[in-house]
A and B are shown apart, each in its own frame.
Chain A
């Protein structure tokens, strides 16, 4: 089964064409993974550990198997191949291997005739546990050497000193991606011992590699298909139920469907690492950065996932978008019994951007400088070395331009409205306008594009000319961001035809597109589509000795020499491309080297209204200027900027997974709060187009950038409103009010 989206829309790059999957989505017939079903289908359900750390002393599946309608129960003993999986490091058992290392770790999975029976059967499995004290303090874990990665960066002169020094300690909470679409998988036996798998994923080829290893099957026996995805934001980069649903289908010989409910989803995917960051910034009297020293402790939770890469990203962006010749960073990803962490939009750069931007504001204050002037003075530009890795920056990096552009956006009018919906507290009617003060804050954020540190990063695409139009084949995951539209636009622009359809291939039909993450698909799969389209165009023109390809055929000196039918006389003509970005390298032992393929920068300005007495905030505006390289689809860019900013708003003022001794206390939408329409700021955007050195048409990926510096801009604005430094996100009412003001003795 291939999913085909036929283009009914027109338009090449630079235009805001409509997305081809938009209509099915607005009328409700777009098939998400959780919507799939078939005759004769079983439902899967998962039994999970109720402890963050415990030894499994008894596991008896007999009571579940004895229930009517139950068709299979699978435990770790049933895993036929590699017992462990993992994207970077294979360290997590498919199911509990005798020790539960985090709360909610899968222990056994059940297949039954209906969802209710499956769930009841999972609950009927007899388990006994011997709880072990969980390691829940990442600092302690780090001290004890329980880590996924320890990394150091040493650049320049460690003894260098500035005349002005500011130190700070910052913390960021665990943020959940909370995509609306739950984890879902659908496995269909192929009748020959293999399976077709429809999965919520960001990278089906890396899932495929892990699945076949654990199932001990040949690559062509398992085909992973892209399925409709309800958002991702990093949460689907690692395996969740993929191997489980496959094992249940193999065990029963029947189609099996698994869907997590919301509470399961909160334990079923990795999160943004909570962080603790100590910083010392030293500058000279003019505000030039002299040295930055930092210690970063990220809590990776129980299993590795992408913690190594997240930590490296955090470390490489410790200094942010600024020049600095002397840098000392010690970074640790700790291994604990807390919820496993991995990718989330911004991938490590979010945490260090918060720390470093707070530091830049403090430095400006210490120097009595304008916060933007100190940023301009140190702004990183092409040709400069990145402060941490020392690599000379190639391509575009308009740091000054984004700062100037965001500053030039007019500020909103002063608060003059008593409409509660526009005030802190909203319709709770807590905060009259007279209780509200306004603040403005700025932040700048930089991040790498695509994969770094020597990873063999590529994307494949196949572009096919048929008499019915052009097909773009890819296995890149469309998770909502609009890659489908960009692929069409690029192919249309190169091939001169509106008739372009994107066809999603499974893992047996095309090679990897790499992950839909790291802001990379517009550049990587877009780059592959661009190169394949150019290759196809040139092949056709050469074949027919023409000089131009148009919608209706090949032309030479303005005359048509071959129609599309003639081009395709012997069948469709195609061109396959495996696209790679400029090579990157592993850093040396001091964290030095050409580790990144490119950088993207953005600036944010937040305007907040704060009720200081109650500690309530309404984010009024978050304006942004975004480096995009080249705008391929302006409307889609605006959507990414506004959406990314909202996740930055969430982390700034409300989103945090509350974890107590390894147990998540708020795994529901009642208590893990995501900004609503009433919490949403207005957003004004400015797009800076300075073509980059390798993306298609000079484009850069911008998926993550809006989430990086929006958070510190909001915190800076709150600080500005209340005249007080803030050091952790989300900013809670207590942080704004201050603990001293909260001390009240109860009446006896």
Chain B
């Protein structure tokens, strides 16, 4: 079936399979492979996108149901090659190892800062508790977000 979705500011019309998730549509129909597929059950956060203003797991959004929606993916956060401050900070703090979780953290983290510009440490932990990282132990990710939070204040 055909859907029209505004993705990273651009209206895209394309066809999706009935059972297909938004994650699959982004990756296979649109070639936006920055959104990662790691569990397909909403238990890892690797596929986080901003969907009509909410940070959600794109694996749990039926692509057909996203018709008419507005979606921001990791590719939309550094549109002109200028890194988002979350991306800058994660890079600087060594918060990237294998990097498979990184797009999810970048998207969920950018959403956190929009809804809560100065989160405390426990707030950062809770807000990002839906994003699993298997490499870093979260220490460098926490340091990155603490830097971004301080910058903003």
Contacts and interface: CB of A to CB of B under 8 A. Distances in A.
Q: Do chains A and B touch in the complex (CB under 8 A)?
A: yes
Interface of A: 16, 18-19, 21-23, 25-32, 34-35, 37, 116, 177-182, 229-233, 259, 261-262, 419, 421-422, 427, 479-482, 635-636, 638-639, 641-647, 668-670, 674, 676-678, 680, 682-683
Given A180-B101, A419-B122, A669-B44, A680 B137 contact: yes
B58 interface: no
Contacts of A21: 99
B4 to A, nearest CB: 23
Contact of B83 (A27, A32, A230): A27
B149 interface: no
Interface string B103-145: 1001000000000000000101110111111111111111000
Given A27-B83, A643-B137, A481 B97 contact: yes
Given A262-B38, A683-B137, A22 B74 contact: no
B96 A19 contact: yes
B126 A678 contact: yes
Given A180-B46, A670-B43, 4 more contacts: A26-B106, A259-B37, A638-B94, A668-B41
Contacts of A639: 94, 97, 135-137, 139-140
A267 B132 CA distance: 20
A647 B132 CA distance: 12
Contacts of A674: 132, 134
B140 A231 contact: no
Contact of B129 (A229, A678, A682): A678
10 contacts: A23-B91, A28-B103, A35-B33, A179-B134, A230-B99, A638-B140, A639-B140, A641-B137, A670-B41, A683-B139
A678 B77 CA distance: 26
B67 interface: no
Contacts of B39: 262, 668-669
B137 A427 contact: no
Contacts of B134: 177-180, 231, 233, 643, 646-647, 674
Given A28-B34, A261-B40, A642 B137 contact: yes
Contacts of A25: 96, 99, 102
Contacts of B34: 27-29
Contact of A231 (B37, B83, B98): B98
A32 B41 contact: no
B132 A180 contact: yes
Given A116-B17, A636-B94, A680-B137, A28 B75 contact: yes
Nearest to A636: B94
A253 B83 CA distance: 42
A30 B126 CA distance: 28
Contacts of B35: 28
In this complex, which of B36, B100, B122, B132 has the most chain A Cβ atoms within 10 angstroms of its Cβ? B100
Contacts of B136: 639, 642-643, 646
Contact of A678 (B102, B125, B135): B125
B78 interface: yes
Contacts of A18: 91-92, 94
Contacts of B125: 421, 677-678, 680
In this complex, which of B74, B78, B99, B122 has the most chain A Cβ atoms within 10 angstroms of its Cβ? B99
Contacts of A116: 17, 19
B126 A421 contact: yes
A669 B138 contact: no
Nearest to A683: B139
B143 to A, nearest CB: 10
A179 B135 CA distance: 8
Nearest to A649: B137
B98 A27 contact: no
A669 B132 contact: yes
A307 B50 CA distance: 45
B98 A28 contact: no
Contacts of A229: 98
B55 interface: no
B56 interface: no
B96 A26 contact: yes
A480 B38 contact: no
Contacts of A30: 99
A43 to B, nearest CB: 10
A31 B34 CA distance: 9
Nearest to B81: A27
Contact of A422 (B19, B87, B122, B135): B122
Contact of B100 (A231, A641, A644, A682): A231
A646 B101 CA distance: 15
Nearest to A685: B139
Contacts of B74: 27-28
A435 B93 CA distance: 36
B98 A179 contact: yes
B22 interface: no
A669 B41 CA distance: 8
A683 B136 CA distance: 11
Contacts of B96: 19, 22, 25-26
Contacts of A682: 139
B138 A680 contact: yes
Nearest to B100: A230
A677 B78 contact: no
B41 A26 contact: no
A481 B33 CA distance: 22
- In the A-B complex, the 7 residue pairs with the smallest Cβ-Cβ separation, listed nearest first, are A28-B34, A480-B98, A25-B99, A230-B100, A642-B137, A669-B43, A646-B137
Nearest to B77: A27
Nearest to B17: A116
Contacts of A479: 98
Given A422-B122, A643-B135, A676-B132, A180 B98 contact: yes
Contacts of B28: 37
B90 interface: yes
B38 A181 contact: yes
Contacts of B40: 261-262
In this complex, which of B73, B91, B122, B134 has the most chain A Cβ atoms within 10 angstroms of its Cβ? B134
A17 B98 CA distance: 16
A298 to B, nearest CB: 24
Contact of B97 (A16, A261, A480, A676): A480
In this complex, which of B46, B122, B128 has the most chain A Cβ atoms within 10 angstroms of its Cβ? B122
A262 B23 CA distance: 15
A26 B128 contact: no
Contacts of B124: 677
Contacts of B46: 180
Contacts of A644: 137
A26 B83 contact: yes
Contacts of A422: 122
In this complex, which of B87, B128, B130, B137 has the most chain A Cβ atoms within 10 angstroms of its Cβ? B137
Nearest to B97: A480
Interface in B22-36: 27-28, 32-36
A643 B41 contact: no
A29 B126 contact: no
